[in-house]
């Protein structure tokens, strides 16, 4: 959802970035959220301001219900596709331990 909105504003409307992605990284007990952009150094302050504004609107609950529903559907679709991969299924089931046997 944020990825789509930021790409629309920062890339297509304001032409500040060449590329943009927003994603989550999960670990066993923590994780982080990131927004990654490729741009000219001179655009950095404007990009950071726009990202902060979008994050603040989300934090305040100023989110379009239709956009949330679309994001939820997209997440379900991505998860379903990921579960077609045996490695993804195994990682979801638990930690993978690889043993090496020396002869």
Clarify whether residues 35 and 46 are in a common domain: yes
Domain range for 46 is: 1-63
> In 10 A of CB 7, how many CB atoms?
17
Q: What is the mean pLDDT of the chain?
A: 85
The answer to whether 24 and 33 have CB atoms below 8 angstroms apart is yes
Give the chain's domain count. Answer: 2
42 has pLDDT over 80: yes
> In 10 A of CB 22, how many CB atoms?
19
Residue 32, in any domain of the structure: yes
Clarify whether residues 77 and 42 are in a common domain: no
Band (67; pLDDT cuts 50, 70, 90): confident
pLDDT for the residue numbered 84: 78
What is the torsion angle, in degrees rounded to the nearest 10, for the CA atoms of residue 20, residue 25, residue 31 and residue 33? 10
Residue 87, in any domain of the structure: yes
Clarify whether residues 49 and 7 are in a common domain: yes
Lowest mean pLDDT among 19-28, 46-55, 82-91: 82-91
pLDDT tens figures, 8-31 = 999 999 999 999 998 888 887 899
Residue 16, in any domain of the structure: yes
Element (H, E) at 2: helix 2-6
Residue 24, in any domain of the structure: yes
């Amino acid at each position: 959802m944020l990825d789509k909105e930021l790409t629309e504003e920062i890339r297509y409307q304001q032409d500040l970035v060449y590329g943009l992605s927003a994603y989550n990284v999960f670990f066993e007990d923590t994780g982080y959220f990131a927004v990654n952009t490729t741009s000219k150094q001179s655009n950095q302050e404007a990009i950071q301001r726009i990202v902060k504004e979008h994050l603040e609107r989300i934090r305040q609950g100023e989110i379009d219900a239709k956009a949330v529903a679309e994001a939820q559907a997209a997440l379900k679709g991505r998860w379903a596709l990921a579960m077609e991969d045996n490695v993804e299924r195994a990682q979801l089931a638990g930690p993978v331990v690889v043993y090496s046997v020396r002869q």
